[in-house]
Amino acid sequence: MFEDLLGGFANVFTPIHIIMLFAGVFIGILGGAIPGISGTMLVVILLPVAYGLDPIPALLLLTAVYTTSVFSGSISAILFNTPGTPEAVATVFDGYEMTKKGKAGEALGVAIFSSATGGLIGCVFLIILTPVLASLALNFSSPEYFSLIFLALVIVSVLGGGSFVKGMIGVLIGLLIATVGLDSSSGVARFTFDVTGLRSGIDFVAVIIGLFALAEVLRKVQEDYFTKDKTANPKTKFPGLGLLNRLKRTIGQSSLLGFFIGVLPGVGATSASLVSYSMSSSFSKDSKSFGTGIPEGVAAPESANNSAAMGAIVPLLALGIPGSATTAVILGAFIMNGIQPGPLLIEQQGMLVYTIIGGLLLANLSVIVFSKPFISIFSYILKAPYYIIGPMIVIFCFIGTYAVRNSMLDLVVMVIAGIVGYNLTKAKFPLAPMILGLVLGTMIEDHFRRALIISGGDFSIFFTRPISAVLLALAFLSLLIPVFKWYRRRIMEKKDKVLPGQ
């Protein structure tokens, strides 16, 4: 493993790899900082670029974009009170307050430092945990895999934001879309309605681009994103030793918390930053000063979201099951390049895995080096109005979809997915469950059928094998979370009724 690790790190420094990595860092920092372009959308739009490249440079590009966009959302959160990406929502609370106090440079410095530290801590855990999890999963066969994916899908519906019922509907729709086309084991056509183009299935890239990018444009074009603030060009100020000493506990705790939240399927960096912000404020000695513009309030969410972003890669590399919507898209990029992530990947293609991990480490480090000079250039570009960004994203959506297999039908699918996605998000349906269902659909069905073939059609195989039984038990236990939430809400409502006005 150690040799692979060193080999992987060395491999990052091949010219084409390093160029792609830095291109990713640049695009990630720039794109993530512009409100209205999220990291998921950037990775989605860049998928066609991943076609034209070899697997390693393609994956380095996408993972670098993914890593740095999580950080750069904080730039506009701090300067303009508008989170550049959803992950930076919690950074607004104290970040913008610091700007109002004239401490924008200090807030940016803290954000850069905590993001990079959080990302690096996350990376270290990623390096330790991935092989362990992969070697555990080597003993898995179809029943275990079915139960594991089932658990992932249940957790993403429960914790993916929004209601559990809507999450489950999303998962089921995603799974159903994956069944369209020729069935891989019997060769029979399913839900194709005699449309020849549907026999090869619905391309998931088209669906993802529609759901995430096109739907987002339809929504954002109606809002006025033009930032009228004329913030003076702030000088980024890195935290000095005194401040570092004050922040080290917050950064350490939030990074740890963020990482483990990130490992859970479907619970990405956004939840991690919100949870760690509220944890830090409730456990802090002066919890009342959170929200008034203190560096801790920037350090907590920023270290947590970057660490969570690394955490979400662990199940992707070790099990082939993504931990968040963006990693689901990255899983798609793996599959497009003919690579199936899973426990065997690290054994058979250790070089590839460790090159990606090395790239992630370097991308996190480069946040410290590059963001300072970039931010002063950015403060102009960040004001780019949506009437320039919106039309360009539309064109990118079409190119991205068409590039996959030169199919006009895919364009139709993408536009339909965009309209559906627009309506679903308006009705507060979370999109991550649908994406996970879609990406994992073929895999879960294959394992389901294989397990039943092993058992001769006996469903008890899922409950009698110990690991599978434990995973299923966990899935059913997590179903209790929404019940518990509902019960707590009812008690709170009753309390409010008993004590009106309090």
Partner 1 sequence: MRNIGISIVIILLSVFLFYDTFSIEAAASEEIGPTMWPRILLVSLFIFGFILLIQSLYRLKKESAEKSGDRFDAVKFWGFLILIILYIPALTYIGFIIATPLWIFMLAFIAGMRKVWLLILTPLVGTAVVTFLFPVLLRISMPRGVGFMREISYFFY
Residues near partner 1, by CB under 8 A:
48-49, 51-52, 163, 165-166, 168-169, 172-173, 175-176, 179, 183, 185-186, 188-191, 193, 214, 217-218, 221-223, 385-388, 390-392, 394-396, 398-399, 402-403, 406, 408, 411-412, 415, 418-419, 423-424, 426-427, 429, 445, 448-449, 452-453, 457
Give least dist CB 364 to partner 1, A. 27
Which stretches within 191-234 are classed as H helix? 204-208, 215-220
Q: Which is nearer to partner 1, 313 or 389 (CB)?
A: 389
Q: Which is nearer to partner 1, 308 or 451 (CB)?
A: 451
Which stretches within 406-465 are classed as H helix? 408-426, 432-455, 461-464
Q: Which is nearer to partner 1, 121 or 461 (CB)?
A: 461
Distance CA 160, CA 165 (A): 11
Give least dist CB 281 to partner 1, A. 27
Q: At what angle do helices 432-455 and 325-336 cross, to 10 degrees?
A: 60
Q: Which is nearer to partner 1, 27 or 116 (CB)?
A: 27
Give least dist CB 390 to partner 1, A. 5
Q: Which is nearer to partner 1, 26 or 51 (CB)?
A: 51
**What string of DSSP letters covers 102-154?**
T-HHHHHHHHHHHHHHHHHHHHHHHHHHHHHHHHHHTT--HHHHHHHHHHHHH
Q: Nearest-CA neighbor of 71 among 25, 11, 36? A: 25
Give least dist CB 14 to partner 1, A. 20
Q: Nearest-CA neighbor of 62 among 328, 304, 432? A: 328
Place of tokens 């020729």: 182
Q: Which is nearer to partner 1, 9 or 402 (CB)?
A: 402
Q: How many C-beta neighbours within 10 Å does residue 58 have? A: 21
Q: Which is nearer to partner 1, 165 or 491 (CB)?
A: 165
Give least dist CB 368 to partner 1, A. 29
Give least dist CB 391 to partner 1, A. 4
Distance CA 271, CA 164 (A): 16
Q: Who contacts 15 (Cβ-Cβ below 8 Å, separation ≥6)?
A: none
Give least dist CB 427 to partner 1, A. 4
